[in-house]
Amino acid sequence: MIITLLLSVAFYPTTTTTTSALQHVGGPPPTSALQHVGGPPPPPQTRQARRAIPLPIGLPKSPTAVTQSKRMKLGKVTRSLAEHAWHRASPVSRLLLLTSVTALVASKALTVRVPFLLQKCVDSAGRDVLRSATIAYVFARLSTVLASEARSLCYAFASQQATRSYARALFQKMLDLGGKFHSEHPTGLLSVAFSRGARGFQTLLFQLLFSVLPTLVELGLSATLLSRRFGSRIGATTLLTFALYAAFTAIVVDKRVKVKRRLVELDNAKSAYLVDALANYETVQLFDGQAPEAFRFDAFLTRMRTAFVASSRYNSILNIGQAVIFGTGLAACLVMCDKDLVAVNGLLLQLAQPMAFLGYTVSEIRQAVVDVTVTEDILSRPGPPAGAVSDLPPTPPAIRFENVTKAYGHDLQPALRGATFEAPAGKLTVLAGASGSGKSTALRLIAKLDDPTDGRILLTFDDPIDLDNVDSRAARRAMGFVPQSPQLFDETAEWNLRYGDFQATDDRIREALRAAKLDHIPLDARLGERAVKLSGGERQRLAVARALLRKPLLLCADEPTSAADAQTERALLEAITHTNATVIVVAHRLAALAPLADHLVVFDKGKVLQAGTHADLLQQQPNGLYASLWYAATANASSTPVLAI
């Protein structure tokens, strides 16, 4: 009965559906949210002025929509615990975990004997057996401590190995998931989900093995010992007391967990908002937005304060109720006990210590289950399809789009609409068109960062291969990619370059730096977060050097020279165009690049409008879209190409 109650407390279903924390945050801001929180002068306090600063938009969808009207995915969580703590564990970790559990049982068996040994010492006062009774009592207490410490030491290694296995699997899964997942889940929320999930895994393992299990063992041993020594009435009273204790805890903890869940949602939303605000600190400072941002951030803090006070109130009710129930049960047991009051009192008080933390234990378990359920949802998501083709021929491929459409949602216009074009093998193809016409989307589809909504993309070597059938990693191993906004790590220049080829020699790295005109940067120089220690042009050149180091069969570059001066642009274009790869470049600065292109593809509103060589497009369609783009690009620039054709 006690076991059933404890488990029902931990996994008691509720009828509340988790909602976005910022749906709670929405609505009129609290008064305290309008108080000045440092920075520039606070915004005006009139109703009209407050309306001018909207509260944060609704919380983006969390990594999983946890519906509390159904039982939590206890089976999935339990299987995950078993997988990482046992099935994936090394033989040493398994042995240590078994040793830890054995030491726990031994410790509890000794613990229930200690009060009776103390009683024996008291009863033996003034007798010859006092010495042996005292030695037995001291030895039992010492053995209890030794067994407990042995349990802790063995568990520390085993649990850290299990947590390491879980955290590594989760980290790798997050990196494997595609662009759709990451576009729907902000980095701030994923960071919070990761930290909470890893911590929840460790908490769940500890609480189940070393809080719930030892409490159940000690309660069973104590009730059995009391029944055998003093009769079944005392044993039954002990079980009834702790059954009521657990039931009362179930009711109050269920109320408190709802409040704590809201507190966690608000904390997640606050963390995501904080990350976003700090990542855009330059924009905040440039537009004097400190006060509005503080105003919006304080909305989270105010609601967190309210939820925290409510949680504390339930905690006080829980502690008082537990004390009343235990005190009543203890008094009843002592009244029924004719003798051995010291032993019975000591045993029940000793048992009360772990039971006093029952509310905390249950709350921790339930929260850990919620956190691990979120990360289990991430782990259970299908990764990129393996693809039937895992090895590509070592020759530059031709790329062909056949009626490709890419839509990002029902409320947005498709980025590509029936696009059909070809990039010849080993040649330079330039994608031209106005901003938002679908050029960058085409590159993302080639790199398998997104999947087409309709149509297909073919890689043609000797025979055409559908890109959907190519393993993502195999495709990217053959590819170099230069994004429009270079993404660099807060690491050294060498580490960022080695992402192009982790096996590259130092000579090859220096050669790539020279080609990108970056040989003045020390390889051991740390670049800072988002490479803020480099200029925009240097970040762009480093991304080009990284792609060139890869020696790709296919090189895709999105505006690779947009932040470069004319001289650097000339050097970068020479490095890019003199590779043996199939090169596809998105370009707005047509004056420098278009004359070098073997093939041009012109996009307009997601469709391919024109295709051909630079000369053909100007001569055959002098009033076409490409001609207008070309003349606009060269109106204020020299008509002489950067490199001789």
Does 469 or 22 have the greater pLDDT score? 469
> Burial level of 331, CB count in 10 A (0-12/13-18/19+)?
exposed
The answer to whether the CB of 80 falls within 8 A of the CB of 166 is yes
The answer to whether the CB of 76 falls within 8 A of the CB of 320 is no
Q: How far apart are CA 84 and CA 161, in angstroms?
A: 8
Structural domain includes residue 89: yes
For residue 586, the model assigns a pLDDT of 93
Considering the domain architecture, whether residues 116 and 260 belong to the same structural domain is answered as yes
DSSP-derived pairing of the beta strands 428-433 and 582-586 = parallel
Lowest-pLDDT choice from 266-280, 355-369, 537-551: 355-369
Q: What is the mean pLDDT of the chain?
A: 80
**Average confidence (pLDDT) over 44-57:** 49
Considering the domain architecture, whether residues 348 and 491 belong to the same structural domain is answered as no
Q: What is the DSSP string of 323-353?
A: HHHHHHHHHHHHHH-SS-HHHHHHHHHHHHH
For residue 20, the model assigns a pLDDT of 37
Name the band, by pLDDT with cuts 50, 70 and 90, for residue 601.
very high
**Average confidence (pLDDT) over 361-380:** 86
Domain assignment of residue 207, given as a range = 2-31+53-379
Considering the domain architecture, whether residues 367 and 492 belong to the same structural domain is answered as no
Residue in the block written with tokens 């391919």? 608
pLDDT surpassing 90 at residue 609: yes
Tokens standing for 476? 């990217």
For residue 25, the model assigns a pLDDT of 36
Q: Strand 607-612: give its sheet, edge to edge.
A: 479-482, 554-558, 582-586, 428-433, 599-604, 607-612
pLDDT surpassing 90 at residue 441: yes
pLDDT surpassing 60 at residue 201: yes
Considering the domain architecture, whether residues 356 and 491 belong to the same structural domain is answered as no
Name the band, by pLDDT with cuts 50, 70 and 90, for residue 645.
very low
DSSP-derived pairing of the beta strands 607-612 and 599-604 = antiparallel
Helix H segments across 281-426?
A: 281-286, 290-336, 341-356, 358-379
**Average confidence (pLDDT) over 146-166:** 88
Q: How far apart are CA 233 and CA 33, in angstroms?
A: 58
Considering the domain architecture, whether residues 500 and 363 belong to the same structural domain is answered as no
State how far the alpha carbon of 491 is from the alpha carbons of 196, 388, 516, 529, in Å: 26, 36, 19, 8
Does 137 or 521 have the greater pLDDT score? 521
For residue 604, the model assigns a pLDDT of 93
Dihedral angle of Cα 203, 207, 209, 214, to the nearest 10 degrees: 160
599: β partners: 429
pLDDT of 84-103, one tens digit each? 888 888 889 889 988 988 88
Considering the domain architecture, whether residues 353 and 490 belong to the same structural domain is answered as no
- Contacts from 460-469 at CB under 8 Å and sequence distance 24+? 460/397, 460/398, 460/399, 460/400, 460/425, 461/392, 461/393, 461/395, 461/397, 462/393, 464/400, 465/389, 465/392, 468/385, 468/387, 469/387, 469/388, 469/389
Tokens standing for 503? 């096996």
List, in order, residues 6 or more apart from 114 with CB less than 8 Å away. 137, 140, 141, 144, 346, 350
For residue 31, the model assigns a pLDDT of 37
Q: Which of 530, 551, 572 is a domain's end point?
A: 551
Name the band, by pLDDT with cuts 50, 70 and 90, for residue 637.
low
Residue in the block written with tokens 């299908």? 382
Residue in the block written with tokens 């291969």? 465
pLDDT surpassing 80 at residue 213: yes
Q: What is the number of structural domains in the chain?
A: 2
Considering the domain architecture, whether residues 356 and 502 belong to the same structural domain is answered as no
Structural domain includes residue 600: no
Top-confidence range, 14-23, 73-82, 606-615: 606-615
pTM higher than 0.75, yes or no?
A: no
| Angular region, 7: left φ>0, alpha ψ -120 to 50, beta rest | alpha
The answer to whether the CB of 144 falls within 8 A of the CB of 214 is no
**Helix (H) and strand (E) counts in the chain:** 23, 10
pLDDT of 58-72, one tens digit each? 443 444 444 443 454
582: β partners: 554
> Burial level of 358, CB count in 10 A (0-12/13-18/19+)?
buried
The Cα diameter of the chain in Å comes to 120
State how far the alpha carbon of 302 is from the alpha carbons of 22, 43, 52, 374, in Å: 12, 18, 20, 26
pLDDT surpassing 70 at residue 35: no
**Average confidence (pLDDT) over 145-165:** 88
Of the candidates 253, 233, 241, which has an alpha carbon nearest to the alpha carbon of residue 349? 241
DSSP-derived pairing of the beta strands 554-558 and 479-482 = parallel
Q: Which of 348, 379, 410 is a domain's end point?
A: 379
List, in order, residues 6 or more apart from 558 with CB less than 8 Å away. 439, 440, 443, 482, 483, 484, 585, 586
The answer to whether the CB of 379 falls within 8 A of the CB of 173 is yes
Q: How far apart are CA 552 and CA 479, in angstroms?
A: 5
CATH number (domain holding residue 160):
1.20.1560.10
How far is CA 36 from its chain centroid?
Answer: 33
**Average confidence (pLDDT) over 423-429:** 94
For residue 50, the model assigns a pLDDT of 47
pLDDT of 558-591, one tens digit each? 988 887 777 778 878 888 888 889 999 998 888 8
Considering the domain architecture, whether residues 509 and 362 belong to the same structural domain is answered as no
Name the band, by pLDDT with cuts 50, 70 and 90, for residue 73.
low
For residue 122, the model assigns a pLDDT of 66
The answer to whether the CB of 547 falls within 8 A of the CB of 482 is yes
Structural domain includes residue 168: yes
Tokens standing for 447? 């790199």
Structural domain includes residue 603: no
Considering the domain architecture, whether residues 491 and 345 belong to the same structural domain is answered as no
pLDDT surpassing 70 at residue 15: no
Does 203 or 386 have the greater pLDDT score? 203
Considering the domain architecture, whether residues 96 and 228 belong to the same structural domain is answered as yes
Q: Which of 517, 534, 551 is a domain's end point?
A: 551
pLDDT of 326-340, one tens digit each? 888 888 888 887 666
**Average confidence (pLDDT) over 219-229:** 79
**Average confidence (pLDDT) over 241-254:** 85
Does 358 or 38 have the greater pLDDT score? 358
AA identity, residue 309: V
